[in-house]
């Protein structure tokens, strides 16, 4: 016995010796382990974000795919998340949290948001409506049983519910043209749109309770260091990633009033068409691009605190709101029925990317 043990230990030493260089290398480049739902249409985006975090933090990325079963209402349970975070990874990507009241699985923490998702209004080709209140009286809207959008009918007397038992069925109903509109969970629509031959539908975020979600990564308290790396990484959500609809952040009235005020206060330096003069251009792919990685809040803060350069902060709050509405409209953002408000605009994390043509 003793002999055997001795033999073993010598052999173990030899093995350890032969492995030393590899172990050493692994230590020099620590690993960031993430779990990604490979069944989600946003898996590629989740992977790109994780790549970026690892690169900036000098970590080697190790991805463990899992099947969250898209289309299945049950999804992944809190217990399964915990199991993954205990054994397979430090971060689980792609978890949606309601912006109205973030609810996380018990015991788990969330990184900063790295994308937006939620329930969207989907409209048939040729429809001009961009929100529920735009739809003509009596319009039937396909919706999935027991999802938040069922509550919106009570707030909008002009529309009627056409209830289906699954997201797949609701998606099919709007895609086949049986209804003019539907309300769906955005990833369901993204998944549909990824198929060749998909009908070109309108997709607009809903400005309703419990419709807006932030996408975060989940972690356990013991992975706080990895979460810190995540939060320290500047993340630009690729404009070409599946994210069809843009949020409506201002009203048409604001944008129109904003144009007049822009001419009066800003155009002398930024040009009458935002093309730039002594001040930089404020429109187009050379300005609001993924590299610049602006949020609406960052740009609005510059505008409201440093502009006009001749009198920083000298305009009324309403003037800044309107000018910002004009600036967003010119960069391809849609008008909606809720006005842009000063404090909300200052804090907005919505990406400002040029979406015009
Ligand atoms: C007297 C000239 C002048 C006027 C008037 C002026 N700006 Fe500027 N603006 C500038 C200059 C110059 C810069 C660049 C400053 C810098 O980068 O440090 C700038 C920068 C900006 C930026 C930041 C652009 C970026 O990419 O960093 C925004 C946004 C902006 N201005 C908006 C406005 C708006 C809106 C108004 C009107 C309310 C306005 N400006 C009025 C000269 C002006």
DSSP letter string, 302-341: HHHHH-STTSTT-S-HHHHHHHHHHHHHHTTPPB-SS---
pLDDT band at 236 (very low <50, low <70, confident <90, very high): low
DSSP 136: P
Residues 193 and 131 in one domain: yes
350/206 Cα distance (integer angstroms): 15
- 216 in contact with ligand 1, CB cutoff 6 A: no
- Nearest residue CA, atom 32 of ligand 1? 303
Ligand 1, residue 262: give the atom nearest the CA: 37
Residues 63 and 145 in one domain: no
Ligand 1, residue 327: give the atom nearest the CA: 35
Q: Which residues contact 255 (CB under 8 A, 6 or more apart)?
A: 322, 325, 326, 328, 329, 335
Cα–Cα distances in angstroms (integers) from residue 57 to residues 3, 106, 113, 215, 290, in the given order: 47, 28, 18, 21, 20
Q: What is the pLDDT of residue 267?
A: 94
Residues 199 and 257 in one domain: no
pLDDT of 259-283, one tens digit each? 999 999 999 999 988 989 999 999 9
Residues 107 and 131 in one domain: no
317 assigned to some structural domain: yes
- 308 in contact with ligand 1, CB cutoff 6 A: yes
- 266 in contact with ligand 1, CB cutoff 6 A: yes
- Nearest residue CA, atom 2 of ligand 1? 269
Determine the distance separating the centroid of ligand 1 and the alpha carbon of 305, expressed in angstroms: 11
pLDDT band at 167 (very low <50, low <70, confident <90, very high): very high
Q: What integer is the mean pLDDT of 165-182? A: 96
Determine the distance separating the centroid of ligand 1 and the alpha carbon of 114, expressed in angstroms: 28
245/265 Cα distance (integer angstroms): 31
- 260 in contact with ligand 1, CB cutoff 6 A: no
Final residue in a domain of this structure, among 174, 199, 232:
232
Residue carrying the six token digits 């048939």:
124
323 assigned to some structural domain: yes
CB 206 within 8 A of CB 148: no
Residues 108 and 122 in one domain: no
- Helix (H) / strand (E) element for 82: namely helix 78-87
Residues 128 and 164 in one domain: yes
Residues 32 and 173 in one domain: no
For residue 224, the domain's CATH number is: 3.40.190.10
Ligand 1, residue 265: give the atom nearest the CA: 37
Percentage of the chain modeled with pLDDT above 70? 87
Highest mean pLDDT among 39-43, 68-72, 134-138, 353-357: 134-138
- HSE (side-chain half, CA atoms, 13 Å) at 270: 23
DSSP secondary structure letters along 171-192: HHHHHTTSSSEEEEEHHHHHHH
- 303 in contact with ligand 1, CB cutoff 6 A: yes
178 assigned to some structural domain: yes
**Taking phi first (over 0 means left), then psi (-120 to 50 degrees means alpha), and beta for anything else, what does residue 276 get?**
left
9 assigned to some structural domain: no
19 assigned to some structural domain: no
11 assigned to some structural domain: no
Q: What is the pLDDT of residue 245?
A: 60
CB 47 within 8 A of CB 114: no
Residues 302 and 181 in one domain: no
For residue 13, pLDDT over 60 is answered with no
Q: What integer is the mean pLDDT of 6-18? A: 35
Determine the distance separating the centroid of ligand 1 and the alpha carbon of 270, expressed in angstroms: 7
Please tell me the total count of domains within the chain: 3
Residues 208 and 218 in one domain: no
Final residue in a domain of this structure, among 171, 198, 232:
232
Pocket test for ligand 1, best of 254, 262, 265, 269 (most atoms within 8 A of CB): 269
Q: Using alpha carbons only, what angle is made at residue 257 by residues 202 and 255, rounded to the nearest 5 degrees?
A: 20
242 assigned to some structural domain: no
Residues 77 and 94 in one domain: yes
Q: What is the pLDDT of residue 6?
A: 32
Mean pLDDT of the chain: 85
Percentage of the chain modeled with pLDDT above 90? 55
Residues 320 and 171 in one domain: no
- Nearest residue CA, atom 19 of ligand 1? 279
For residue 72, pLDDT over 70 is answered with no
Residues 134 and 103 in one domain: no
Name which residue leads in pLDDT, 116 or 303. 303
Structural domain that includes position 161: 117-212
pLDDT band at 7 (very low <50, low <70, confident <90, very high): very low
For residue 339, the domain's CATH number is: 1.10.760.10
2 assigned to some structural domain: no
């Amino acid at each position: 016995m003793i002999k055997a043990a001795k033999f073993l230990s010598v052999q173990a030493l030899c093995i350890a010796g032969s492995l030393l260089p590899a172990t050493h290398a692994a230590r020099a480049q620590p690993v960031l382990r993430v779990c990604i739902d490979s069944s989600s249409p946003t898996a590629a985006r989740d992977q790109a974000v994780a790549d970026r975090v690892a690169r900036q933090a000098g970590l080697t990325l190790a991805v463990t795919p899992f099947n969250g079963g898209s289309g299945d209402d049950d999804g992944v349970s809190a217990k399964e998340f915990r199991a993954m975070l205990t054994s397979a990874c430090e971060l689980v990507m792609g978890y949606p949290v309601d912006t109205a009241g973030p609810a996380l699985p018990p015991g788990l923490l969330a990184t900063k948001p790295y994308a937006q998702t939620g329930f969207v209004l989907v409209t048939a080709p040729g429809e001009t409506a961009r929100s529920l209140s735009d739809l003509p009286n009596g319009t039937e809207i396909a919706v999935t049983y027991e999802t938040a959008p069922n509550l919106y009918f009570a707030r909008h007397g002009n529309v009627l519910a056409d209830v289906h038992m699954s997201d797949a069925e609701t998606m099919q109903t709007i895609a086949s043209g049986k209804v003019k509109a539907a309300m769906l969970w955005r990833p369901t629509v993204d998944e549909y749109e990824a198929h060749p031959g998909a009908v070109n539908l309108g997709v607009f975020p809903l400005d309703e309770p419990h419709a807006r979600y932030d996408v975060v990564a989940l972690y356990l308290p013991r992975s706080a260091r990895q979460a810190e790396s995540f939060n320290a990484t500047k993340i630009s959500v690729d404009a070409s990633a599946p994210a069809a609809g843009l949020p409506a952040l201002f009203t048409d009235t604001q944008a129109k009033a904003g144009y007049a005020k822009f001419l009066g206060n800003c155009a002398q330096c930024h040009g009458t068409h935002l093309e730039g003069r002594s001040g930089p251009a404020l429109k187009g792919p050379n300005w609001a691009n993924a590299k610049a990685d602006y949020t609406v809040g960052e740009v609005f803060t510059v505008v409201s605190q440093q502009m006009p350069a001749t009198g920083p902060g000298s305009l009324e709050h309403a003037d800044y709101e309107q000018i910002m509405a004009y600036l967003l409209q010119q960069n391809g953002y849609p008008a909606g029925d809720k006005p842009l408000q000063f404090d909300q605009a200052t804090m907005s994390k919505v990406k400002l990317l040029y979406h015009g043509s």
